[in-house]
Every structure is written in C-alpha cells, then in structure tokens.
C-alpha cells in the first residue's frame, strides 16, 4: 500500500511515517500544501493522510484540487482542529475520514487499510483466492490456513494483486503502488519477486498475461 503523507510538523510526520512503514506501507512525505497539490495530482497513491493546517495551500484547498483533477484516492484528514465546521469543510471537499490529534499511530494505519478496502469494493477484510487468504486489516497472508512467509516487498506485491483479483495489472501499476516515488525498479527485479512469490505459493494463482502484466485468479479458473 502506497501512501502520501502531508504534514507540516516534521517531527510528527516522521513518527507517523515510521509507524506506517513498520506496518508494511510505502510512505512518501511532503510538508507544504503547494507540493502536496502537485504530487497528489501527478503520482498514483492508494491513499493519503492530509493535515489541514499547511503552509501554502491549506489542506481543504489541496483536497479540493485533487478532486477537481479527478483524483479519487481515499483521503484521511489528520488535524488538531476538532470543530464541526472543519469536519464539514473537509467532507464537503471530498474527505473520506477524519481523525483529530492526538491519535494512536496504529489507528492511522488501520483506518487507511479500511479506506483502501472499501474503495476497492471489498466489504470484508478477508480476501480469498483458492487456498490463499489475505486479512487486509492485519496485513497477513495464510495459505491453506498456515501463515505464508513473505518478505515486505513480496507481501506488498501479493496484496496489490489479490485486492485486484481476476484483473490484469501492468508492471507499471505494480511498481507505482509498491515502490516509493524515488525508486524505479527494472523489469527483471519485478520478475524475480513474482517468481519467488509463485514458488512460495506452490499453486498457479498468478498468471502472466504477455504484453499486459499479471493476473491473480482462482486455481480452478486456470
């Protein structure tokens, strides 16, 4: 899961980014509204955490800009402001959730996972593909009921695929959503990772669609 964190308090931003990274997320952090408006409109993210009180454009203006640009990523507003008028302005601009400071860093991670799951149309946090099961809230895979041992990068790739089960996703899509924006892995790196995931699964869940990308589908459908 790739997240854009917009927070002008650098100490708080570092703590939240560390907590989200420890939860297996890729986090890009910006500290002012003007950069946030640009980055959120030009890069692909699974979700965003957005502070309201920012230098440059304020958070509501940033969010309104994203929505006007057609960006539909789930947005969790994170702010010290607890007034109803601030909440109303945030939701009117297109916010999906609102969390008032102080807060538990773990709650930010949980809310982001729920927002992403709902945005993808999954009503349950448990996603299933044949013998493979993924608990989206806990970010945990099991295979035939037993824990599946994956590296952090393998887990991010497999989570992206199972959340889009039966859909072909391109190499670029996978790279954009599982790597930070300052990293640009080559095609061979992704092939190696997909190969390792396939060996750990031991069943033909991940199909290669030549010239298009990869598709995770039920074993019976192969």
Asked whether residue 90 carries a pLDDT value surpassing 80, the answer given is: yes
Closest CA to 179 of 23, 27, 13, 6: 27
Tokens at 124, concatenated: 């349950």
Asked whether residue 94 carries a pLDDT value surpassing 90, the answer given is: yes
pLDDT of residue 124: 83
The secondary structure of the chain, three-state, reads CEEEEECCCHHHHHHHHHHHHHCCCEEEEECCHHHHHHHHHHCCCCEEEEECCCCCCCHHHHHHHHHHCCCCCCEEEEECCCCHHHHHHHHHHCCCEEEECCCCHHHHHHHHHHHHHHHCCCCCCEEEECCEEEECCCCEEEECCEECCCCHHHHHHHHHHHCCCCCCECHHHHHHHHCCCCCCCCHHHHHHHHHHHHHHHCCCCEEEECCCEEEECCHHHC
Closest CA to 12 of 110, 79, 72, 84: 79
Tokens at 102, concatenated: 């102080």
Q: What is the pTM of this model?
A: 0.77
Architecture of the CATH domain 126-221: Orthogonal Bundle (1.10)
At how many degrees (to 10) do helices 84-93 and 59-68 cross?
20
Return the domain boundaries, the chain: 2-119, 126-221
For a pLDDT cut of 70, what percent of the chain falls above it?
Answer: 95
**Residue environment code for 146-185, b if the CB has 16+ CB neighbours within 10 A, otherwise e:** eebebeebbbbbbbbbbbbbeeebebebbbbbbbeeeeee
Q: Which CATH code for domain 2-119?
A: 3.40.50.2300
Asked whether residue 195 carries a pLDDT value surpassing 50, the answer given is: yes
Q: Which of 2-11, 77-86, 105-114, 167-176 has the highest mean pLDDT?
A: 2-11
Q: If pLDDT is split at 50, 70 and 90, which confidence band does 176 have? A: confident
Name the strands in the sheet holding 140-143, side by side, starting at the edge strand that comes first in the sequence.
126-129, 132-135, 140-143, 146-147
Say how far apart CA 179 and CA 47 lie, in whole Å: 14
Average pLDDT score over residue span 193-215: 92
Say how far apart CA 207 and CA 198 lie, in whole Å: 10
Query: Is the Cβ–Cβ distance between 184 and 175 less than 8 Å?
Result: yes
């Amino acid at each position: 899961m790739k997240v854009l964190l917009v927070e002008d308090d650098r100490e708080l931003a570092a703590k939240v980014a560390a907590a989200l990274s420890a939860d297996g997320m890729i986090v890009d952090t910006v500290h002012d509204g003007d950069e946030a408006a640009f980055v959120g409109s030009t890069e692909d993210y699974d979700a965003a955490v957005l502070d309201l009180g920012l230098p440059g454009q304020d958070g509501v203006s940033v969010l309104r800009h994203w929505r006007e640009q057609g960006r539909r990523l789930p947005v969790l507003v994170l702010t010290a402001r607890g007034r109803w008028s601030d909440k109303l302005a945030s939701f009117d601009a297109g916010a999906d959730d609102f969390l008032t400071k102080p807060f538990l860093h773990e709650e930010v991670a949980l809310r982001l996972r729920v927002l992403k799951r709902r945005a993808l149309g999954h009503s349950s946090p448990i996603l299933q593909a044949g013998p493979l099961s993924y608990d989206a809230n806990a970010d945990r895979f099991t295979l035939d009921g037993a824990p599946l041992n994956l590296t952090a990068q393998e887990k991010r790739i497999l989570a992206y695929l199972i959340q889009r089960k039966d859909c072909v996703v391109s190499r670029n899509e996978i790279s954009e959503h599982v790597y930070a924006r300052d990293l640009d892995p080559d095609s061979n790196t992704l092939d190696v990772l997909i190969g390792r995931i396939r060996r750990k699964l031991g069943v033909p869940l991940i199909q290669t669609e030549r010239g298009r990308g990869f598709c995770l589908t039920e074993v019976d459908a192969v």
